[in-house]
Structure formats: C-alpha cells, structure tokens
Amino acid sequence: MNILQALQSAGIARSDAEILLAFLLMRDRAFVLAHPEHSLTEEQESQWRSQRERRKTGEPISYIIGQREFYGRTFLVDPRVHIPRPSTENLVTMTLDFLKNPKDEVRNLETGIIGKAKILRDCSEIHTIVDVGTGSGCIAITLALERPDLHIIAIDISTDALFVAKENAVRLGASRIDFLEGDLLFPIKNKHKPCIIVSNPPYLSDDDIVAHPDLSHEPRIALLGGAHRNTLLQRIERDASAMENCTGTIMEQMC
C-alpha cells in the first residue's frame, strides 16, 4: 500500500488521514502530499489500519498520536488529560500581556469563549503564578518557559493528570514548577506570597459534551463545570477574592 492508496481508502476526513500518515511516517504533511507513491511497510500498514479505525470511532487525533502542539511546543497528551485548544493558547498570551500591563479585561479567545482578567489587589509586583486545573501542564509549563523569572505552581485534583504534566515539564525543560495535588485553590490556602491565578477550569455541561462527540473521549472531570456549568469557575473566583495574597485572576470561560 502506498500513500495515495492509504488516503483513498481511509474512510475518515482527508485532513485527519494526512496528519495520521505524516505522524506514522515521521514526516510532515507536505511529504504526504508530495509523495503519493511512497510505500508503507507491513508494520506501518498495520499501524495505519489501527489508527484509522480509532479515528472512525471518534477518538481525537491528539490521543491517537499521543501529542498536541501548544504555543510552538509539543505536549504529550492521552485520555488522562484534556486536549489543549487554541483558546487556551490565547489565554496564555493574555496572561503574558497581563504580566506586562495588569488591567481588567475581557478578551475573545475563540468563538464563544472569552478570557476574563480581573485585578483583585495591587499587581505591581507579580512573582508567582498559580495554574489551577493544570491538566497536561500546558499553561504552567508555557508560562515557566516564557517567563523563567517567575515561580509557577500547578494544581490538579487528578493524580493521573499531574503525572502527565510532570512528564511534559521534564521533556520540555521547565524545572521551576511546583506541582500540587488538590481541589481548586485548597493546596495554596495558606500561601503567604502574592500570586495571580490563571485557569482554564472545567466549564461545560453534559449537553455540551453530547453536542461535540470528540469530547466524549476526554476525562469528564476536566470538562464538566458543575451543576450550573460555571460552578467551579465561580468557586475559584470566590476563593481567590477571599485570599489576601491573591492579587488577580485570569480565567477562560464561555461567553
């Protein structure tokens, strides 16, 4: 079987097939498009059939290939963690902007999704950022690499998610991160140094997941926002406001 035959018999979206083949061949999509005559080995054919069948069931591409590009870096992802989206890349940019010029702001991150920055207290000196619900660690690790002068704390209630996040931190060389296990802000309730909270918290409902079949493969704990969709988000905002040393919040949420 060559590349052209594989694409013609894929039974999945052409773009998905090109991505899977490129990953399988350890090439880029340009190679896949430019070399339709390239033959797959028997082992590659077997892997290709397995991958395309997984995609036919709706399993996300990122889980099939085990990785996701985020802010120009490759993060390991699997069903233990939520798959990072472009909206969260934009949340990181919003956070970097906030660090340079703290101000209240509402910013469109993606269709139907906004970032909301809020100053709670004096933000003139920011030394610590706390990523609440870190998942794969994409926010915490990116901020640690983009701003190595800052101390980063990454929190998640899931032991499995923290395992993935720590592995990503090691692979990407982000050493200045403290990983804490616990529910939302509880692990830092006694923190005394000033910090800001950054979070892409769970903010979806069961209906949202039904409407987007790909989401059914992701951990529900990372998606469901509570009885009223924004329950967890509101808890973070309330608890952050009550923390004397929390000086600001930057949160991803639905419009």
The string of pLDDT tens digits covering residues 144-179 is: 999 999 999 999 999 999 999 999 999 999 988 999
Tell me the longest C-alpha to C-alpha distance in the chain.
Answer: 64
The pLDDT value given to residue 147:
96
The pLDDT value given to residue 241:
94
Instruction: Specify the pTM.
Output: 0.93
β-sheet bridge partners, residue 73: 70
Look up tokens 């993606």; give the residue: 110
Query: How would residue 68 be classed by pLDDT, with cut points 50, 70 and 90?
Result: very high
* 11-34 pLDDT per residue, tens: 999 999 999 999 999 999 999 999
Instruction: Note whether 75 and 137 are within 8 A (CB).
Output: yes
11/9 Cα distance (integer angstroms): 6
